Amino acid sequence: MTWTDFVTDIALERDTLLRAMPLVPATAGGDFRGTLDVAADHVHAFVSANDASMTPEGCVAFLRIRPLLFGIAWKILDRFHEEAFIQAGETPDQSRGFSIKEKRRLARSLVGQPGFLPAEVWEAVALTYDGTALMRHSMVHQSVWVDGADALVGTDSGGGRLRPVTADEQEALVHVALRRVEAAELFTLDTRTEGDLRAQLDRLKGIHKVTLAGAVVLTGVPELTVILAPAPGGGGYVFDTPYVRQRSPFRAAQYCDLVVNFRDMPGVSLRGRLEDAPDRQVLLEPDQPPDWFREISARLKDGPDDGELPVFVNLRRFTQVLSCCGCESATVLGPSKGNDVPLHRFREQAPARCGCEPHGRMLVMGPDGRQRCC
């Protein structure tokens, strides 16, 4: 079993939770957009207005199905811990796998911390799993009910009343489960996702008792497009981070997606996150951007690569690049110093390729095993 197998196995449960209680995306969704034309010193902002009279969360509250979602989220946490214990080399205590009792014991011992979760986050999620197990057991045996505040109330094996799980805690458990699936799928936890995971776990502090710093609730990520003109005398483009932050219409936002376009290079753009930019002026070269830019994109030509406009492959997203016919000759690559690599330069680095790339297109395989056409 692998983390990819885990993500595949809980796909239905994940989809159910995402439809009922969708996560706030960690990247811009288009509702908050702005453009800063540096040469013209002109700022334009756009905010979309949506009808929020009946959101998925509103439907959940109206139908009072939080307990159902709580049970689904707990199942995801249970499978997550089981996979973590297997990868840590723990031996199941039963022929059919780990018993809940054994998984709770291992969770309390903080066994199996995945490399993509910080120690204190793992402690909080492990103790949350253990601290909600009896409520899950009560649900299985149909001895739970919802009080007037929509808190989930259950009983232990002796008939004693368990600590209620509030409506807010039930929702937080759903979001914790979904954020952990994201981390398992990508084998990493970026700053934004980790901040939101910590915020959701903070809502569950009454259960796990762990103090977590760095909690930042995601409430919507804006996107700022910056248009740059060539520097006087040529030699690149000046990105003035302090100026951009001061002129941004989203100065109060904790996070902001960044798109850099070049006035004399239509179709070419750099994408990153404004909070990752150093607080100083930076001289940009579009084909060799700093590490804090996550993606280079360029217009895909219909003709052969003649050097007029390079086609870029974002190696940060992909671990394996295949020839466009999908033949067996493939080159496995990791990120090259975290930078994106022009396709013509990649071709020079990849001797194992077939000869059917007349249009500069290749298939790339990501860590999720899916092939995409570049």
pLDDT at 49: 60
What is the mean pLDDT of the segment spanning 173-188?
Answer: 93
367-372: average pLDDT:
43
Average pLDDT, the chain: 80
The residue among 286 and 210 whose pLDDT is bigger is: 210
Q: Which residues pair with 371 in a beta bridge?
A: 365
* pLDDT for the residue 52: 53
Is residue 312's pLDDT more than 50? Answer: no
pLDDT, average across residues 289-300: 74
Which of 154-168, 286-300, 329-343 has the weakest average pLDDT? 329-343
Task: Please report the pLDDT score of residue 333 as a whole number.
Answer: 37
Res. 250: pLDDT tops 80: yes
Residue pair 311/298 in contact (Cβ under 8 Å)? The answer is yes
Lowest mean pLDDT among 137-141, 177-181, 313-317: 313-317
pLDDT at 232 exceeding the cut of 50: yes
Average pLDDT on 249-261 reads: 92
The three-point CA angle 196-223-278 to 5° equals 80
Contact call for residues 363 and 323 (beta carbons, < 8 A): yes
Residues whose CB is less than 8 angstroms from the CB of residue 142 and which lie 6 or more positions away in sequence, other chains included: none
Percent of the chain with pLDDT over 90: 53
Look up residue 67 and give its amino acid.
P
Give CA–CA dist 265/75, Å, rounded: 50
Percent of the chain with pLDDT strictly greater than 70:
77
The DSSP annotation for 278-328 comes to: -SSEEEE-TTS--TTEEEEE-PPPSS---SSS--EE-TTS-SEEE-TT--S
**Strand pairing partners for 364?**
321, 372
Judged against a pLDDT cut of 60, whether residue 189 lies above it is answered with yes
Give the confidence band of 352 by pLDDT, cuts at 50, 70, 90.
very low
- Average pLDDT over every residue of 351-364: 38
Is the pLDDT at 277 greater than 80, yes or no?
A: yes
Task: Please answer whether residues 45 and 249 qualify as being in contact, where contact means their C-beta atoms are separated by less than 8 angstroms.
Answer: yes
pLDDT (0 to 100) of residue 288: 83
Strand ranges for the chain from DSSP E: 32-37, 42-47, 145-146, 152-153, 223-228, 237-240, 257-262, 269-273, 281-284, 293-297, 312-313, 320-322, 330-332, 341-342, 363-365, 371-373
| Digit-coded pLDDT (tens) for 191-211 | 888 999 999 999 999 999 999
DSSP 8-state symbol, 276: G
CA neighbor of 130 nearest in space, from 61, 210, 220, 246:
210
Higher per-residue pLDDT: 368 or 164: 164
pLDDT at 80: 97
Q: What is the residue whose two structure tokens read 């290079």?
A: 265
Q: What is the pLDDT of residues 113-160, one digit of tens each?
A: 999 999 999 999 999 999 999 999 999 988 899 999 999 999 998 889
pLDDT tens per residue across span 37-82: 988 888 888 776 655 556 787 888 888 899 999 999 999 999 999 9
